Amino acid sequence: RADVQRDFVRQIIREDLASGKHHAIRTRFPPEPNGYLHIGHAKAICLNFGIAREFGGWCNLRLDDTNPGKEDPEFVEGIKDDVRWLGYEWHDLRHASDYFDVFYRAALKLIEDGKAYVDDLSADEVREYRGTLTEPGRNSPYRDRSIEENLDLFRRMRAGEFADGSKTLRAKIDMASGNINLRDPALYRIRKVAHQNTGDAWPIYPMYDFAHALSDAMEGITHSLCTLEFEDHRPLYDWCVDNVDLTAHPAMWQSVVDAGLEARPAKPRQIEFSRLNLSYCITSKRKLAQLVNEGLVDGWDDPRMNTLRGLRRRGFTPAGLRLLIERLGISKQNSVIDYALLENCVREDLDATAPRRMAVLDPLKLTITNLPGNHEETLTFANHPKDESFGTREVPFAGTVWIEREDFAEVPPKGFKRLVPGGEVRLRGVGIVKCEEVVKDAAGDVLELRCSLDTESRSGMPGADRKVKGTIHWVSARHAVAAEVRMYDRLFNVPAPDDESDGKSWIEHINPDAKRVGRGWLEPAAANAEPEQRFQFERLGYFVADRVDHRPDAPVFNRTVTLRDTWAK
């Protein structure tokens, strides 16, 4: 869609191609493998992978694994799976840890150039010396160490001679800078923690800004797209890229070539865009992890979670998510998007792609009295009302069917268009039935409706077009397959669970009714579904066969979304 999307990022890219600054576009998506991806990440994925695809370039998936201890190979696998599920494939899979040797050599070069020093200040002291937005910082007493001393100390940091937190390597930039990120930011810290990719090889780890800028440069990324909170980091990003200058120092990245990885260092440009924030959602990995760890949900893929795994299990479609991101576009404007917009995009996709089936969730028995007791036939139904390519299916029909209890009212409210005592309604695909008798138990509860079928009203018969007020769905009682049906709703009952200005923690806004498990009765063609197959259950909503628990002989369906926006505030 390069031709239709005219946002400022694509505009910059077009200009860079037109001017000859770049001949190919290279992007990357750089998640930290410390959790599963969430709906916010879908925006960064669609942008980075989408733009690369549109302009005939490529996008790397880079795992930003510079925080050992919090990261886990399970999350790496989950991230790969989620990116593919959204419909994208990476050019290369990289890890920031693939470049640990490059970062180390780059740090040595900065020290040799007098641009970095080893500092002995504690974390608290560093904070104290840093100053504030209105007060300049002060130089560390260790700032003027000689190049030789810095080289010696940094090599010994790398050799593991010093305790965690006792020293850092800092860039020597400007303690009086108006941008706090430039007040001698840390480049390396000591952390004797095993790393998910490099094990115990390194007792020191690079800081995010340093590692991120150099990783982009290493891979020849042309446009490094990130969220707005990194805007103030851009001068530091550029400082790292320019002062290390990988393009001029091939020896620095020999280890990457030796490891068989493609290396093509370049000078990337960072461009910031606004985050995706959705109402009724939490988009912080830390909080999502808390929901999982405290057992408030049934895991990262709980259909109530706005992780990509959760949305997937809920039945949301990759195309629906991509549609949302495309509609929202890219800008530098921060805003909160209404959750209903996401649901509408998913509905729009499902309306076009989900075959129709019939299911009854709250059954009431309806017996047709003027058919023989053993009557049985097979009706042919279109799978999609607007698209013949979906074909047809056979739906078994017998004289006793389940209808939805709420499709009958003994005392109808005003405007009720369904079945009432003595009234008529069309049974979808069968014909018009008239309610002759309401059978109740001793307590007065309705047990059964006894109805007559107008046999002239069946399709193909002369009375087929006779008008009645409503059409209802049904399932043949003899053929129905019982299913577990999980009804999901929004996980939070306020639009901004993160807003704690009311003195309540976000945890207190969890919607206790977000999951209700019930039973339903399905026509056989619905029960006989593959896990993850999606349907519209007529008049009820969109449902998906649960990708973990569903089996054709023990069906489990999740409600993805209702047919219309029915969410009352």
Piece in contact with ligand ATP (CB under 6 A), picked from 171-179, 275-283, 300-308, 551-559: 275-283
Q: Does 31 bind ligand ATP (CB under 6 A)?
A: yes
Greatest distance between any 2 Cα atoms in the chain: 102
Determine, following the binding rule CB under 6 A, whether residue 234 of this chain makes contact with ligand ATP. no
In angstroms, how far is CA 292 from the centroid of its own chain?
16
Task: Using DSSP bridges, classify how beta strands 481-488 and 556-561 pair: parallel, antiparallel or unpaired.
Answer: parallel
Smallest gap from Cβ 331 to ligand ATP, in A, equals: 12
Give the shortest CB-22-to-ligand ATP separation in angstroms. 20
- Give the single-character DSSP code of 478: T
What minimum distance in Å lies between the beta carbon of 288 and ligand ATP?
7
* Range 118-147, binding ligand ATP (CB under 6 A): none
Q: Which of 14, 32, 448, 466 is catalytic?
A: 32
Please, which of residues 461-520 interact with ligand ATP by CB under 6 A? Answer: none
How many CB atoms within 10 Å of residue 192? Answer: 14
Catalytic annotation, pick one of 172, 234, 285, 534:
285
Q: Which residues pair with 408 in a beta bridge?
A: 419
What SS3 class is residue 233? helix
Active site residue 275: yes
Asked if 283 is part of the footprint of ligand ATP (rule: CB under 6 A), the reply reads yes
Among 276, 330, 360, 449, binds ligand ATP (CB under 6 A): 276
Q: In sequence order, what are the residues at sequence separation of 6 or more whose Cβ sits closer than 8 angstroms to the Cβ of residue 566? A: none
Q: Out of 9, 10, 25, 40, which residue is the one contacting ligand ATP (CB under 6 A)? A: 40
Per rule CB under 6 A, is residue 51 in the interface with ligand ATP?
A: no
Contact yes or no for 555/484 (Cβ under 8 A): yes
DSSP for 503-552, written as a single string:
S--GGGGB-TTSEEEEEEEE-HHHHS--TT-EEEETTTEEEEE-TTT-BT
Q: Is residue 312 within 8 Å of 319, Cβ to Cβ?
A: no
Q: Is 277 exposed, middle or buried (0-12, 13-18, 19+ CB in 10 A)?
A: middle
Length of the chain: 569
Question: How far is residue 457's CA from residue 465's CA, in Å, rounded to a whole number?
Answer: 7
The correct pick among 275, 365, 418, 434 for binding ligand ATP (CB under 6 A) is 275
Strand partners, 515: 488
Nearest to 58 by CA among 213, 219, 217: 219
Quick one: tokens of 184?
Answer: 């001698």
DSSP state of 397: E
Q: Which structure tokens are listed for 511? A: 């919607």
Q: How far, in Å, CA of 132 to CA of 347, rounded? A: 49
Q: Is 32 in the site for ligand ATP (CB under 6 A)?
A: yes
21 is catalytic: no
Q: Min. distance of Cβ 216 from ligand ATP in angstroms? A: 11
Q: Which residue is nearest to ligand ATP (CB)?
A: 40
For the packed helices 234-244 and 100-112, what is the interaxial angle rounded to 10 degrees? 80
Interface residue with ligand ATP among 10, 26, 41, 233 (CB under 6 A) is 41
Q: Does 105 bind ligand ATP (CB under 6 A)?
A: no
Do residues 184 and 168 lie in contact, with contact meaning Cβ atoms separated by under 8 Å?
Answer: no
Q: How far is the CB of 277 from ligand ATP (least distance, A)?
A: 6
226 binds ligand ATP (CB under 6 A): yes
Binder to ligand ATP among 30, 137, 431, 497 (CB under 6 A)?
30
44 near ligand ATP, rule: CB under 6 A: yes
Q: Please tell me the count of residues contacting ligand ATP according to CB under 6 A.
A: 14
Number of H helices, E strands in the chain: 14, 27
Which residue among the candidates 80, 275, 405, 417 is catalytic per the annotation?
A: 275
* Residue 168 engages ligand ATP in binding (rule: CB under 6 A): no
- Judge whether 398 and 476 are in contact, CB under 8 Å: yes
CB of 8 to ligand ATP, least distance (A): 16
Q: Is 285 a residue of the active site? A: yes
Q: Closest approach of Cβ 154 to ligand ATP, in Å?
A: 27
| Closer of 28 and 172 to ligand ATP (Cβ) | 28
The interface region with ligand ATP, picked from 35-43, 134-142, 260-268, 396-404 by CB under 6 A, is 35-43
Stretch that binds ligand ATP, among 30-38, 139-147, 336-344, 430-438 (CB under 6 A): 30-38
Per CB under 6 A, 43 contacts ligand ATP:
yes
User: Could you list the active site residues?
Assistant: 32, 275, 285
Q: Which residues sit at the interface with ligand ATP, rule CB under 6 A? A: 30-32, 40-41, 43-44, 226-227, 275-276, 283-285
